[in-house]
């Protein structure tokens, strides 16, 4: 068996500016959920900030990871908690658990695709160097062997994979 080269590139803070990305994500969250669940765009943007800060707080994140028996259950709980938390902050009714899961996963899959380009406004100055580096290593590995490494929700990693595929 031949070993396959896998290259992981740092997304957050290198290819993209996480602060700028967070602002765009909040806007997209509001555009997605307002027509489905009600509330105002401002309330949903605020709710996403509040709930994301709560979810990504380091001690809370560690407890969440330790409590999950496997990734599937971790992701399920994370997605449901994300949407339930936002519904609570917005002040709208919370869908049943299965509907929360479906909507959260649909949002995570669709929101990155809401832009027709790979969010160049997220780029840091080092991103331009990253683009040159990715182009230079393409001959060494198949396009599917280059992956983003990120701590952001998996939907953002999807954007980075699409971004790298276009380089």
pLDDT tens for the chain, 167 residues: list them: 666 666 676 666 666 667 777 788 888 899 999 999 999 999 999 999 999 999 989 999 999 999 999 888 999 999 999 999 999 999 999 999 999 999 999 988 777 655 434 445 544 555 566 667 777 766 665 655 666 666 544 344 444 444 444 44
Are 104 and 126 found together in one domain?
no
| CA 17/CA 159 separation, integer angstroms | 13
The pLDDT value given to residue 135: 72
Say if 33 falls within a structural domain.
yes
Are 34 and 105 found together in one domain?
yes
As a whole number of Å, the CA-based R_g of the chain is 17
Are 106 and 52 found together in one domain?
yes
Say if 161 falls within a structural domain.
yes
Say if 2 falls within a structural domain.
no
C-alpha to C-alpha distances, 113 to 22, 110, 143, 149, nearest whole angstrom? 15, 5, 19, 19
Total count of domains within the chain: 2
Q: Which domain holds residue 61?
A: 19-114
C-alpha to C-alpha distances, 31 to 35, 41, 74, 87, 89, nearest whole angstrom? 7, 7, 26, 14, 16
Are 60 and 142 found together in one domain?
no
Are 98 and 144 found together in one domain?
no
| CA 7/CA 137 separation, integer angstroms | 9
Are 101 and 138 found together in one domain?
no
The pLDDT value given to residue 71: 86
Say if 160 falls within a structural domain.
yes
Secondary structure of residue 148 in the 3-state scheme = strand
Are 101 and 154 found together in one domain?
no
Say if 23 falls within a structural domain.
yes
| CA contacts within 13 A on the Cβ side of 25 | 22
What is the pTM (predicted TM-score) of this model? 0.70
The pLDDT value given to residue 161: 46
């Amino acid at each position: 068996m031949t070993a396959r080269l896998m290259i992981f590139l740092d997304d957050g803070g290198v290819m993209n500016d996480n602060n700028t990305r967070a602002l765009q994500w909040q806007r997209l969250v509001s555009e997605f959920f307002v027509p489905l669940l009600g509330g105002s765009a401002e309330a949903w943007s605020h709710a996403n900030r509040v709930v994301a800060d709560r979810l990504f707080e380091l001690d809370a994140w560690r407890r969440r990871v330790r409590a999950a028996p496997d990734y599937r259950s971790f992701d399920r709980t994370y997605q449901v908690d994300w949407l339930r938390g936002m519904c609570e902050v917005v002040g709208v009714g919370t869908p049943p658990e299965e509907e929360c899961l479906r909507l959260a996963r649909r949002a995570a899959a669709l929101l990155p695709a809401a832009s027709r380009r790979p969010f160049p406004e997220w780029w840091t100055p080092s991103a331009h160097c990253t683009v040159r580096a990715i182009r230079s290593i393409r001959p060494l590995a198949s396009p599917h062997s280059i992956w983003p490494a990120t701590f952001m929700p998996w939907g953002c990693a999807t954007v980075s994979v699409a971004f790298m595929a276009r380089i």
